[in-house]
Amino acid sequence: MASLRTLVSATALSLATLAQCRPLTEAAAAAADCNCYKASSDSTAHFVNRKFFDFRNIANPSTPAPIVGSGADGAAGATHPYFSTAEWTNTWRTQSWSTPGEGVPRQNSLNNVFIAPAAAQDGDEQGSSHLTLRTLRQSDYQSTAEVESATADYQFLTMRMLARSRGASGAVTALFTYTANPNVQEADIEFRTQTALDQVQYTNQPGTVNGEEQPEATRVVTLPSGPWTEWQEHRYDWTPGSSDWYVDGKKVASIQFQTPTAPLSVIMNVWSDGGVWSGVMGAGGEAEMQVQWLDLTYNSTSQQAPGACSNVCVIDSLI
């Protein structure tokens, strides 16, 4: 799906743009010296930094056995050498915090963030591995996964991932921006395993203020391209005054109400806490978000742009 769309948009590019944005791989993009990016050929927002995380062909993928007991789970180490590479540690921090939850205590564990082997029978998958974030219901707690950006200096971005979520009812899988400083500003892509599998929720948080629902803050969308249990390219664009969401290149939601303005973190997580929003996962249940790649293209309050945009590349044609 994504590659078909990429082909179509690449064909639509002008020759001049093609000459500028010829590269089709990350290495080639670096060689082309792009110093500025936009999401697609018809985008108007520009961003000066880009990181592409490719989880598709990482050696020695493996799925770690669950750890039983919240203490040991919270103390677990990284599951794969990839999580010690500069590519990962320069940008991400895998979390091990816990919270009492809304009925079921939630314990984040490094053991739930791993490089999994691609399913052999899955012809849709492009490589031999992917990143997985997992949640498991243990008898007296929920073992969960969260990866946060090392810095909270993202201010406007376009980010996208080729991902799918699957598993037992009672989990939320998500990619979002966040700060609580001084108040919550946050924009979410959330998949809930207790809803219809083609329903996704997009929100400029807070969705509730003093117990009052903020209907303008959120959109519940039935995906045009089918269930999110299949590989789809999920994209979020944050520009001044607007949050816009896309699936497989098609715009599916746009919210201007309380669009974040502050510098934010980027977070992905897979969790449940026994509350109404996540639902309650049955003992022994498990759910995952699997990610083949993640593209993070952004402006930053701490890495100022050295010069003006002189060589604009289009993300659609780089992936």
What residues make contact with ligand NAG under the rule CB under 6 A? 45-48, 156, 239-240, 299, 305, 309
Q: Which is nearer to ligand NAG, 49 or 225 (CB)?
A: 49
**Residue 299 or 317 having the CB closest to ligand NAG:** 299
Q: Cα separation of 70 and 100, whole Å?
A: 12
Beta carbon of residue 258, minimum distance to ligand NAG (angstroms, whole number): 18
Task: Work out the widest C-alpha separation in the chain, in whole angstroms.
Answer: 60
* Minimum CB distance to ligand NAG, residue 160 (Å): 16
Q: 């001084």: which residue's tokens?
A: 182
Q: Write down the least CB distance from residue 256 to ligand NAG, Å.
A: 15
**228 Cβ contact partners less than 8 Å away, ≥ 6 residues apart:** 164, 165, 191, 197, 198, 200, 234
Q: Give the tokens for residue 275.
A: 């509350």
Minimum separation from the CB atom of position 8 to ligand NAG (A)? 25
CB of 10 to ligand NAG, least distance (A): 23
Rounded to the nearest angstrom, the gap between the alpha carbon of residue 192 and the centroid of all alpha carbons in its chain is 14
User: Is 241 exposed, middle or buried, given 0-12, 13-18 or 19+ CB atoms closer than 10 A?
Assistant: exposed
* Closer CB to ligand NAG, 158 or 292, in the complex: 158
Looking at residue 18, what DSSP letter applies? H
Nearer to ligand NAG, 156 or 202 (CB): 156
E strand map for 140-193: 142-149, 154-167, 172-179, 185-192
Shorter beta-carbon distance to ligand NAG: residue 45 or 161:
45
